[in-house]
């Protein structure tokens, strides 16, 4: 029973840390998009200026953090019904991430303050090291074949094809490139890995060992 309790707490800890990593990545994404634009990694399309593209990107991010019932619309880019629906589904994923962060986060802090790290140091260190190895492998695969990973991600989290944008009806996809999303996924993984490494370093020498 104690071991089951440990795994529940460990999974909650990992989910809270992952939600934090994703939230930080979302918060940094406008700056990353801006840098990509300035470096020429994202090229202006359809005669839109950089200012217009950045404006619509900001409008998209505002929608993804809003509670409006109105579908997403842009000042400059056209958007189809299917495209707007996909952004609605993305917004629900944002909500899920933030709920995990603000519900599981305080619970995790409470557990840590009440001796979770000290009581289960041996198990936590072991499982974190295994997870770090797995995530490093995942990061390598992500870089080597992101297109396949990106497709698989959408097939898992979306039960329709609305995420497959047609540039003729949803030209925003021309600036939301795979390269940009690769940077976001890689950043989230790196933040998560950094958090795991910090926890592993922070925990004192193992004091409990349960078979």
Confidence at residue 183, expressed as pLDDT on a 0 to 100 scale: 96
Please check whether residue 131 lies inside any domain of the structure: yes
* Region label for 40, one of left (φ > 0), alpha (ψ between -120 and 50) or beta (otherwise): left
pLDDT at residue 207 is higher than 70? no
Please list, in sequence order, all residues whose beta carbon lies within 8 angstroms of the beta carbon of residue 81, skipping any fewer than 6 positions away: 71
pLDDT in tens, 11-25: 999 999 999 999 999
Please check whether residue 44 lies inside any domain of the structure: yes
Distance between first and last Cα of the chain: 12
Owner of token pair 């700056």: 31
pLDDT in tens, 41-96: 888 777 888 999 999 999 999 999 999 999 999 999 999 999 999 999 999 999 99
pLDDT in tens, 69-84: 999 999 999 999 999 9
Please check whether residue 82 lies inside any domain of the structure: no
Please check whether residue 77 lies inside any domain of the structure: no
37 with 54: CB under 8 angstroms? yes
Confidence at residue 205, expressed as pLDDT on a 0 to 100 scale: 53
pLDDT in tens, 99-117: 999 999 999 888 888 788 7
Confidence at residue 149, expressed as pLDDT on a 0 to 100 scale: 92
Please check whether residue 152 lies inside any domain of the structure: yes
The whole domain housing 46 covers: 2-67+96-202
Confidence at residue 5, expressed as pLDDT on a 0 to 100 scale: 85
What percent of the chain stands above pLDDT 90? 73
148 with 52: CB under 8 angstroms? no
Mean pLDDT of 174-183: 94
DSSP 126-177: HHHHHHHHHHHHHHHHHHHSHHHHHHHHHHHH-SSSTTS--TTT-GGGGTS-
Please check whether residue 179 lies inside any domain of the structure: yes
Supply the mean pLDDT for the chain.
91
Please check whether residue 87 lies inside any domain of the structure: no
Confidence at residue 209, expressed as pLDDT on a 0 to 100 scale: 45
Confidence at residue 74, expressed as pLDDT on a 0 to 100 scale: 95
pTM of the model: 0.90
Confidence at residue 120, expressed as pLDDT on a 0 to 100 scale: 81
Which has the higher per-residue pLDDT, 3 or 55?
55
Confidence at residue 204, expressed as pLDDT on a 0 to 100 scale: 66
- The radius of gyration of the chain from alpha carbons, rounded to an integer in Å, stands at 20
Q: Which range is least confidently modeled, 93-107, 116-130, 155-169, 193-207?
A: 193-207
If one counts the domains in the chain, the total is 1
| Residues 207, 211: Cα–Cα separation, whole Å | 13
Please check whether residue 29 lies inside any domain of the structure: yes
């Amino acid at each position: 029973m104690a071991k089951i309790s440990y795994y529940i707490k460990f999974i909650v800890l990992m989910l809270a840390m992952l939600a934090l990593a994703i939230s930080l990545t979302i918060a940094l994404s406008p700056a990353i998009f801006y840098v990509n634009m300035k470096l020429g990694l994202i090229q202006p399309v359809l005669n839109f200026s950089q200012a217009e593209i950045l404006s619509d990107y900001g409008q998209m991010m505002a929608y993804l953090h809003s509670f409006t019932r109105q579908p997403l619309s842009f000042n400059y880019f056209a958007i189809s019904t299917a495209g707007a629906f996909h952004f609605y589904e993305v917004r629900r994923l944002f909500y899920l991430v933030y709920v995990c962060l603000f519900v599981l986060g305080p619970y995790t802090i409470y557990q840590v303050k009440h001796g979770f790290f000290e009581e289960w140091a041996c198990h936590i260190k072991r499982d974190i090291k295994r997870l770090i190895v797995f995530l490093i492998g995942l990061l390598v695969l992500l870089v080597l074949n992101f297109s396949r990973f990106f497709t698989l991600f959408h097939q898992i989290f979306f039960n329709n094809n609305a995420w497959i944008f047609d540039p003729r009806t949803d030209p925003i996809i021309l600036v939301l490139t795979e390269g940009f999303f690769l940077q976001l996924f890689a950043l989230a993984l790196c933040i998560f890995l950094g958090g795991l490494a910090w926890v592993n370093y922070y925990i004192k020498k193992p004091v409990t060992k349960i078979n």
